[in-house]
């Protein structure tokens, strides 16, 4: 139970982050009890918020939801059930409405003050490096160029490629014809060989021979690697000839691999 | 030229078809009320619920993706045409009255519209990289490329030895694949460019429903609420876990759709169905659709949506003391319960 309570507060802390919107929400939720306007609707909203907060904070229900429903790592998603945005916005509208009773200018000033309050207590999603310029696919242009090259260059082989870490999570979003030995979280039967490829890409200096030997073992017919004379010489010597370069990447091909048996398993020709 | 055709098709499948299906879903109401937000949100609920019920057998029977697209699209297309025929007069009338209606909007409505369009435009034009797409978008691309549903590992392209239990009951990436097929666009473009352009305004349509319930007698106040909501969402990046952050940076993922469209919609339809002396059957059916839709978009929805419905059901029961609320509410969770049972069996 101690662990559950710790998780409750850990996720609360993570969710509220560096902002103060939670305080605005709590203040708004409390105000729901005291405002005169639309009492029945306020009761429903307030009752619902109390119910969700009770489920979140009460250790027994929290434990059940964590263990049997959504998991401990994603328990913070319970906060998505709280109507934080509509409740804050509702109370702010009521505040503006009251100010407007004194005059139009007061109403506009109150609305501006509300916007300022939201801005000061929160953090804007724009201008924090969340967005960059991109193409229509919103994928790495170099990676797309490599995929296009592979599709043009390759004729009838299955493309089973070992790619740099910066491509691993994205290459199959663009081209699902390209198979790879491992992805962001996979495969399920994660083998030391796959892990070794990932480690070799991150090594400095790189064990080119180690990379080609694992690739051969797995039946990988293409290696994508940042192009250099050293890399080209090492890969060529080991059977992976330079098929071409795209941007800073070299594409190395070993035609001895890449055919498939009926079960989809790669095998050496 | 092909991009223009794709853009027109995107408007049809992302906006017009859901609105027409939503109009049809609300056709049996005794009290007719024209609300595009209601039609859009209920249209998506019905379309997603139908998709969930149709795709799951296709996954388990390993049937081709294109066959599923046909079996789904033909009846939906016919129903949309039927709805268009049925509502042609009212639609024409509303279109003719649109300039006057726009002229009558209060200042806060224009501010809200500008903010919402800015948010949708930014998400559609600018690029945000999210590693979760390694599964969601790659699954859509794999589905289109292999003409199969959940038979190949999205991460590697190798055949699945067993179905991914966490995702298989929530085939939102397959919806993305289908939208790609219907519009002729690559699933990555659909997810990263097209979906934000439509789904961010859709999330505000769901909030509009709550706003118009809270301010039944003042549309101006409902617009003001929407404006404040847009500002709050924009300033919700104080943590990466908030609904606002998910809305503005990765609305193409099912969990974000759940948090920002379906949860508010479920609350709204709970209120509609449970807070009336004689609730319309349509409201209960739409609540059922929303619950099934929540299963379709995310495995979280299978569990979280019944929690929301359950809490709202108890609140309403305490207000009205009618057991019917709890009974019908439980019935609305049928798809969630079946999915939860299947999940426990296959995990």
Q: Region A126-153: what's the mean pLDDT? A: 92
Cα–Cα dist B237/B230, whole Å: 13
Structure tokens at A184: 């962001």
Cα–Cα dist A147/B133, whole Å: 18
Of A45, A88, A135, the CB nearest to B232: A88
Cα–Cα dist B173/B155, whole Å: 14
Cβ distance of B233 and A83 shorter than 8 Å: no
What is the pLDDT, as a whole number, of residue B320?
92
Lowest mean pLDDT among A108-112, B25-29, B42-46, B99-103: B25-29
Residue B150 Cα, gap to closest chain A Cα (Å): 13
Check pLDDT > 50 for residue A204: yes
Cα–Cα dist B238/A15, whole Å: 8
Q: Which residues of B295-320 are buried (b: 16+ CB within 10 A; e: fewer)?
A: bbbbbbbbbbbbbbbbbbbbbbbeee
Yes or no: say if A203 and A211 are a contact pair by the CB < 8 Å rule.
Answer: no
Beta bridge partners of A250: A225, A245
A/B interface, count of CB pairs below 8 Å = 265
Check pLDDT > 50 for residue B343: yes
Q: Region B180-192: what's the mean pLDDT? A: 97
More confident residue, B316 or B161: B316
Q: Region B166-186: what's the mean pLDDT? A: 95
Residues of A in contact with B154 (CB under 8 A): 172, 176, 183
pLDDT tens column, A211-233? 999 999 989 999 999 999 999 99
Beta bridge partners of A179: A160
pLDDT tens column, B243-279? 999 999 999 999 999 999 999 999 999 999 999 877 7
Yes or no: say if B340 and B295 are a contact pair by the CB < 8 Å rule.
Answer: no
Half-sphere exposure of A251 (CA within 13 A, CB side): 22
Instruction: Give the CA-trace dihedral at A20, A24, A25, A26, to 10 degrees.
Output: 100
Residue B58: pLDDT band (50, 70, 90) is very high
Residue A187: pLDDT band (50, 70, 90) is low
Cα–Cα dist A17/A123, whole Å: 10
This complex has an ipTM of 0.94
Structure tokens at B306: 């019944």
Residue B147 DSSP class: T
Cβ distance of B235 and A122 shorter than 8 Å: yes
Residue A268: pLDDT band (50, 70, 90) is very low
Q: Region B152-159: what's the mean pLDDT? A: 92
Check pLDDT > 60 for residue B82: yes
Of A43, A79, A134, the CB nearest to B126: A134
Residue A134: pLDDT band (50, 70, 90) is confident
pLDDT tens column, A87-117? 999 999 999 999 999 999 999 999 999 999 9
What is the pLDDT, as a whole number, of residue B1?
56
Q: What is the CA radius of gyration of chain B?
A: 20
Residues of B in contact with A131 (CB under 8 A): 122, 126-128, 249
Check pLDDT > 70 for residue A190: no
Residues of B in contact with A45 (CB under 8 A): 214
**Residues written for chain B:** 347
Of B228, B238, B271, the CB nearest to A114: B228
Nearest CA in chain A to B214: A41
Residues of A in contact with B131 (CB under 8 A): 169, 184
What Cα–Cα distance (Å) separates residue A200 from each residue in A194, A210, A249? 10, 8, 16
The closest of A255, A177, A171 to A216, measured between CA atoms, is A255
Of B211, B304, B316, the CB nearest to A77: B304
Cβ distance of B221 and A97 shorter than 8 Å: yes
Mean pLDDT across chain B: 95
Residue A204 Cα, gap to closest chain B Cα (Å): 25
Residues of A in contact with B290 (CB under 8 A): none
Check pLDDT > 80 for residue A189: no
Cβ distance of B224 and A96 shorter than 8 Å: yes
Q: Region B40-65: what's the mean pLDDT? A: 96
Cα–Cα dist B180/B183, whole Å: 5
Residue A263: pLDDT band (50, 70, 90) is very low
The domain locations on chain B are 2-346
Residue A261: pLDDT band (50, 70, 90) is very low
Check pLDDT > 80 for residue A38: no
Cα–Cα dist A254/B332, whole Å: 57
Cα–Cα dist A124/A121, whole Å: 10
Question: Which uninterrupted H or E stretch holds A42?
Answer: helix A39-57
Yes or no: say if A109 and B219 are a contact pair by the CB < 8 Å rule.
Answer: no
Q: Which residue has the tokens 């697209």?
A: B69
Check pLDDT > 70 for residue A265: no
Mean pLDDT across chain A: 89
Q: What is the CA radius of gyration of chain A?
A: 28
Cα–Cα dist A208/B199, whole Å: 46
Structure tokens at B28: 């049996």
Pairing of strands A266-267, A259-260: antiparallel
pLDDT tens column, B289-315? 999 999 999 999 999 999 999 999 999
């Amino acid at each position: 139970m101690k662990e559950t309570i710790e998780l409750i507060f850990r996720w609360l802390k993570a969710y509220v982050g560096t902002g103060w919107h939670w305080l605005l929400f709590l203040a708004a939720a409390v105000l729901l009890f005291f405002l005169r306007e639309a009492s029945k609707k306020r009761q429903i909203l307030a009752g619902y918020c109390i119910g969700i907060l009770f489920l979140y904070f009460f250790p027994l229900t929290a434990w059940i939801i964590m263990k049997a429903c959504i998991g401990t790592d994603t328990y913070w998603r319970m906060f998505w059930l709280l109507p934080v945005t509509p409740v804050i916005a509702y109370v702010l509208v009521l505040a503006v409405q009251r100010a407007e009773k004194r005059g139009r200018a007061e109403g506009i000033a109150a609305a501006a003050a509300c916007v300022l309050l939201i801005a000061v207590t929160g953090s804007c999603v724009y201008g924090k490096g969340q967005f960059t310029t991109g193409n229509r696919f919103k994928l790495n242009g170099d990676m797309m160029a490599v995929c296009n090259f592979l599709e043009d260059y390759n004729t009838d082989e299955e493309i089973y490629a070992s790619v740099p870490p910066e491509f691993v999570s994205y290459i199959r979003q663009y081209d699902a014809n390209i198979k790879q030995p491992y992805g962001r979280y996979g495969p399920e039967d994660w083998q030391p060989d796959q892990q070794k490829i990932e480690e070799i890409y991150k090594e400095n200096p790189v064990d080119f021979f180690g990379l080609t030997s694992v690739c051969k073992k797995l039946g990988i017919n293409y290696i994508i690697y940042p192009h250099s004379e050293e890399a080209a010489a090492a890969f060529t010597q080991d059977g992976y000839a330079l098929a071409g370069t795209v941007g800073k990447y070299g594409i190395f091909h070993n035609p001895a691999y890449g055919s498939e048996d009926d079960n989809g398993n790669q095998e050496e020709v | 030229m092909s991009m223009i055709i794709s853009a027109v098709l995107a408007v049809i499948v992302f906006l017009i078809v859901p609105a027409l299906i939503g109009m049809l879903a609300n056709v049996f109401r005794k009290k007719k009320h024209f609300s595009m937000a209601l039609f859009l949100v209920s249209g998506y609920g019905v379309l997603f619920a139908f998709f969930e019920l149709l795709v799951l057998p296709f996954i388990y029977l390993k049937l081709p993706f294109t066959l599923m697209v046909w079996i789904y699209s033909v009846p939906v297309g016919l129903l949309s045409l039927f709805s268009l025929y049925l509502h042609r007069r009212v639609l024409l009338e509303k279109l003719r009255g649109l300039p006057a209606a726009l002229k009558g909007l209060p200042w806060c409505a224009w501010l809200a519209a500008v903010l919402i369009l800015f948010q949708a435009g930014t998400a559609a034009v600018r690029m945000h990289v999210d590693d979760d797409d390694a599964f969601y978008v790659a699954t859509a691309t794999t589905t289109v490329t292999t003409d199969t549903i959940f038979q190949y590992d999205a991460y590697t392209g190798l055949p699945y030895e067993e179905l991914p239990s966490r995702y298989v009951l929530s085939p939102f990436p397959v919806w993305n694949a289908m939208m790609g097929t219907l519009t002729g666009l690559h699933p990555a473009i659909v997810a990263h460019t097209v979906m934000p352009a439509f789904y961010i305004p859709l999330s505000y349509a769901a909030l509009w429903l709550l706003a118009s319930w809270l301010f039944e007698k003042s549309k101006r106040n409902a617009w003001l609420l929407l404006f404040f909501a847009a500002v709050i969402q924009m300033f919700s990046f104080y943590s990466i876990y908030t609904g606002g952050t998910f809305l503005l940076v990765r609305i193409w993922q099912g969990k974000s759709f759940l948090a920002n469209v379906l949860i508010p919609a479920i609350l709204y339809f709970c209120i509609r169905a449970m807070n009336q002396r004689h609730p319309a059957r349509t409201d209960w059916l739409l609540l059922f659709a929303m619950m099934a839709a929540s299963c379709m978009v995310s495995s979280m929805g299978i569990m979280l949506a019944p929690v929301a419905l359950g809490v709202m059901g108890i609140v309403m029961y305490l207000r009205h003391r009618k057991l019917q609320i709890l009974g019908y509410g439980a019935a609305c969770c049928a798809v969630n319960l079946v999915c939860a049972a299947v999940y426990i069996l296959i995990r």
